[in-house]
A and B are shown apart, each in its own frame.
Chain A
Amino acid sequence: MIKSAGKQSVLVNRVVIGLLVAAACLGPGLVRAQESRLRDTIDREIKAAWEKGKLASPARSTDAVFLRRVYLDLVGMIPSYEETTAFLADSDSQKREKLVDKLLADPRYARQQAQVWDLAMLGRKNKLVDGTVGYRNRGRFRVWLAKQFEANEPWDRIAAKILQAEEDGSQLYLAAYRDSDEMVNAVSRFFLATQIQCAKCHNHPYESWTQKDYHGLSGFFVRTIAVDVPGKPEITNQTGNQYLVGEKTIGEALFSLEEIDPKTKKKMTVPIKPKFLTGDELTEPDPPQDYVEPKLKAGELPPKPAFSRREKFIEWMLAKDNPFFAKAVANRVWAQFLGRGFVHPVDDFNSSNTPSHPELLKAIETELVAHQFDVKWLVREIVNSEIYQAADVGAVTDALPQFYERARIRPLTVEELTASLQIAMGLGVEPALKAEPSKDMLQYLGEPTDGQSRFQGSLSEHLFLHNGEGFRGMCRPNKGNLPEKLVQGTEDWNEKVERMFLSVLSRPVTSEERERFVEYLSTDSKDAKQTAQRMEDAMWVLVSGSEFRFNR
């Protein structure tokens, strides 16, 4: 066990945080935010930091780079050949803003947000009682989340509904974290951006957390119970389980002391009262006298309690003066699009992890609250900023540059890769929406980062790219796909190669590339089999290189 640092440093931290808060409140960012659009505040604040740090300002992204970036971020797939050529040919000076509006209104937007947030909440391989939260059994939750984003439900409402776990499909989150310790860890990390599991070793601006605080939080979740019942779990027609979540009327969080009970030779335990992270203990009515929880059959939930501790937690979390909730989501949405949170990683606000741009974080938080947690509004402001639209080139090596002086580099998720391969091969949006990542795709491309968003180039990913059918099969001329159209088409090879690049890499080909690819593709052009093989090779090169693998 780790001892927490002494009281003195807590005091120092409080003072520092106090000063930061004061500075943020008095700072110019906030005042100006009232009279201008948030996107302007973003640009002004980030540029001010560049000037202060004597960093060169990046160029603006090219239209093609912006187009691919914003498609992947907002709708989860690359633009089609038609969408790309139309956008690049458009001479309207407002075309980027118009594109953003179009994509935010696209049904794919809600689906993509649901995928991103679902993964942020549940991870790729979260354990469930009967296995893991794999791609398939999370479908019902994704569909439910997509409905929330489609209706543009305010984030505080979505959060409440996830923790109430009453709407059909919303239950997976609490069901996945069945044990109250797991719920405390997950809820505090995701909704409050606070790592209470380290309460044993962390100081915190509001108080020095102890193990008892941790177990105090457990008190709100210890009565929560999840069961599974047969049902159709997801988008596809498979059978499986669906999850229901309820709450018992009694039950306390227990805290193990270090002392050993001489009789049982086991650690002694004491019950701990529920306590909020802000330090107040919950006041609650006494449970009904002599209440005994009924024996439950498999798949059965207990009767709804007259007093719900979990509901009290939700009320506390969403209260106007909650110091965690709003800034957690402000920082998280920012990081979703800019790669790095002002506080990074996004689930670890603590006194030693200070925000890189505290005034801007405060401004976004304040504006988001003023806009009633309208996430779509915030996304629109962020992607319309010059900072989001910065170029992808430069000498910075960081995937997620500290000062946002170059666009972030993130690997495509396996869902984005699956859909984008369909688009790249000219199969259209409908098949792209229907395509599900195969088991192999999930295994070899499902977890490209180390969990802290650092990309790990794994050899097994490349073995799969080289030798698996997932990519090569898509690249092979077949059933009306683009490779087939190209080998059968009568156009000039120059034209064909131009189309390939616009379809797969969403940009025009360079003359050097055109020459190289035409040469590659037109060798053995009398031999249909060889030509088909060369087409597969060339497409494979385009989809397995860095340019396709990452969103930048």
Chain B
Amino acid sequence: MNTNFKPGTCNSGQHLTRRSLIKGMLTTAGGLAVANWGALTHSQTIAAEAKRSGKRCIMLYMEGGASQIDTFDMKLGRPTAGPFRSIKTSASGIDVCEYLPKIAKHADKLAIIRSMRTKSVDHGIGGYHMHTCYPSSEKFPHAEIGAMIAKYCENPESDLPSFIKIGGGSGVYGAGYLGPQYEPLVLADDGKLPGFANPSVSPEIQGRRGELLSFMEHRFAENRSGEPFAAHRSAELRTIRLMRARKAFDVADEWNKARDRYGNTQFGRGCFTAVKLVEAGVPFIEIGQGGWDSHNDNFPVHKANLSVLDPAWASMLQDLQDRGLLQDTLVVWTSEFGRTPAINGQGGRDHFGRAWTVVLAGGGIKGGQHYGASNQDGFEVEDKPVDEGAYFATIYKTMGVDHRAVHYLGARPIWATPKGSEPISELIG
């Protein structure tokens, strides 16, 4: 039996390759590594199933909900318009907010979906829905999109984590039924590794004590199949690998040269780190930008946030293009929901799911277009409504992931997107 916790083998658990880790998890009986993670027991082999597409995805997540009317779906001259003006862009027929001047130059790369109609309009449930494609009320351990893409697009030979969140503020919804090996590594807002990534003991000590730990975990796991134990062991093994790969996260020198372009902000540094990690082969990185929940003072809040977002996002697209990575890297701009067209008594806009906007770029997305439309004042979708299922299916299709991939939790099947979800073919090149 090939197990990661086999006693007596030399440095087991300390010098694993990704492949042997996965094999070990697959073939381990009795709940040693991943006990009855339906996804794994029902697949033939991970290697055969995960057709490596070479695709990457960066998700810019506007935590709290960005306003469509003050960014990409402006309602100039209407009662719902705010004070912001619009500017022309590099794509004819596409105007954007005046506080997005740098991203305007990349509009030929953007597919702007202005007809999002989604169901979960509070932060917890909205964040869940827009990360997993399912409502949290189902009370099922759904996997979030980063875990799904990690599973299907990862490079099994790499020590780098396959799912990274920069800034944990947008919430960790987790790998759910896909199993603990696809849980995210959460980095600080600026993309730096958590503390204590440098080994504190010599490789020799780390090796021998790791072996002793493996021995203990093996004994303990023999008749204890609990998921938390498996998650704890998996995290231990992935941590050893992360310590080996830690240099990839050290972008300090290059950041000094890039920071004027990205804007000298934590979010900017996070975006730059994401480009470096994509280049190193990480398949999914989410970067959260906080502070969009503008129930009060919507306009100053948006102006300030856009001034951080604009240079970072634009420089990211430019760098991906310059490095020849944009064709294979999908960049998503999204939130848990949009904001109300109506302006409330505190000069704010509230949560709104009936007609809002997300933006896709790169990864083979056909840029320079609007898709769908909201009506005159922005209260309803007027053309081509897009729900959570279609949005996720489009991302998965772009990434080369079957949007109806089925996994099992015990005997219960669960699909990557709900029945009836279809990718939007007009957006995909």
Contacts and interface: CB of A to CB of B under 8 A. Distances in A.
Interface in B337-385: 342-345, 347, 350, 353-354
Contact of B161 (A406, A459, A466): A459
A463 B342 contact: no
Contacts of A411: 228
Contact of B173 (A2, A410, A450, A533): A450
Contacts of B209: 537-538, 540-541
Given A394-B225, A399-B226, A459-B238, A516 B215 contact: yes
Contacts of A459: 161, 185-186, 194, 235, 238-239, 242
A455 B227 contact: yes
A10 interface: no
B212 interface: yes
Contacts of A200: 121
B197 interface: yes
A97 to B, nearest CB: 27
Given A454-B174, A457-B183, A541 B122 contact: no
B174 A456 contact: yes
Contact of A396 (B119, B208, B225, B239): B225
B223 A394 contact: yes
A2 B121 contact: yes
B195 A454 contact: no
B31 A463 contact: no
Nearest to B188: A460
Interface stretch (A29-37, A141-149, A260-268): A260-268
Contact of B199 (A260, A461, A467, A549): A467
A247 to B, nearest CB: 23
Interface in B197-251: 197-200, 205-206, 208-209, 212-213, 215-217, 219-221, 223-236, 238-239, 242-243
Contacts of A550: 226, 228-229, 232
Given A392-B224, A457-B232, A459-B242, A541 B213 contact: yes
Contact of A545 (B193, B196, B213, B342): B213
A353 B138 CA distance: 10
Contacts of B35: 397
A462 B174 contact: no
A93 interface: no
A546 interface: yes
Contacts of A398: 226-227
A516 B172 CA distance: 39
A201 to B, nearest CB: 8
Given A409-B229, A461-B235, A538 B212 contact: yes
Q: Which of B194, B212, B343, B345 has the most CB of A within 10 A?
A: B212
Contact of B234 (A264, A394, A457): A457
Contact of B226 (A197, A409, A466, A520): A409
Contacts of B194: 444, 459-460, 463-464
A395 interface: yes
A269 interface: yes
Nearest to A408: B226
A490 B172 CA distance: 50
Interface string B314-354: 00000000000000000000000000001111010010011
Given A399-B226, A541-B216, A468 B195 contact: yes
A427 interface: no
A550 B172 CA distance: 21
A136 interface: no
A399 B227 contact: yes
Interface string A302-330: 00000000000000000000000000000
Interface string A180-202: 00000000000000000110100
Nearest to B410: A397
A351 to B, nearest CB: 12
Interface of A is mostly: mixed
A1 B120 CA distance: 8
B216 A542 contact: yes
Q: Which of A269, A457, A533, A537 has the most CB of B within 10 A?
A: A457
A266 B345 contact: yes
A538 B209 CA distance: 7
A410 B231 CA distance: 12
Contacts of B156: none
B31 A397 contact: yes
B172 A463 contact: no
B220 A546 contact: yes
Contact of A198 (B36, B122, B139, B344): B122
A460 B239 CA distance: 8
A516 B212 contact: yes
B235 A510 contact: no
A256 B196 contact: no
A83 interface: no
A409 B139 CA distance: 19
B196 A457 contact: no
A401 to B, nearest CB: 9
Report the contact-size class of chain B (Cβ under 8 Å from the partner): 35 or more
B79 interface: yes
A512 interface: yes
Given A266-B345, A456-B183, A550-B229, A463 B213 contact: no
A525 interface: no
Interface in A505-552: 510, 512-513, 516-517, 520, 533, 537-538, 540-542, 544-547, 549-550, 552
Interface in A381-396: 392-396
Given A397-B227, A520-B212, A545-B216, A460 B344 contact: no
Given A2-B119, A463-B195, A541-B212, A549 B224 contact: no
B181 to A, nearest CB: 10
Nearest to A352: B137
B32 to A, nearest CB: 12
A258 interface: yes
A193 B398 CA distance: 42
Contacts of B344: 256, 266-267
B141 interface: yes
A410 B139 CA distance: 19
A450 B174 contact: yes
Contacts of B191: none
B9 to A, nearest CB: 14
A212 interface: no
Q: Which of A463, A467, A540 has the most CB of B within 10 A?
A: A463
Contacts of A517: 212
A512 B8 CA distance: 12
A458 interface: yes
Given A197-B122, A458-B186, A545-B213, A397 B345 contact: no
A288 B57 CA distance: 62
A348 to B, nearest CB: 9
Contact of A457 (B31, B219, B235, B242): B235
A333 to B, nearest CB: 22
A35 to B, nearest CB: 37
A541 B243 CA distance: 18
B216 A462 contact: no
A101 interface: no
Contacts of A1: 121, 353-354
23 contacts: A1-B353, A1-B354, A2-B353, A254-B345, A398-B227, A443-B195, A450-B172, A456-B174, A458-B183, A458-B186, A459-B185, A462-B235, A466-B196, A467-B199, A468-B200, A516-B7, A516-B212, A537-B212, A538-B212, A540-B209, A541-B213, A546-B224, A550-B232
Given A399-B226, A546-B217, 13 more contacts: A1-B354, A198-B125, A266-B344, A352-B137, A394-B224, A395-B225, A397-B226, A411-B228, A444-B196, A457-B228, A463-B193, A544-B236, A550-B232
The 4 closest A-B pairs by CB, nearest first: A457-B235, A457-B231, A462-B239, A460-B194
Interface of A: 1-2, 197-198, 200, 254, 256, 258, 260, 264-267, 269, 352-353, 392-399, 406, 409-411, 440, 443-444, 450, 454-464, 466-468, 472, 510, 512-513, 516-517, 520, 533, 537-538, 540-542, 544-547, 549-550, 552
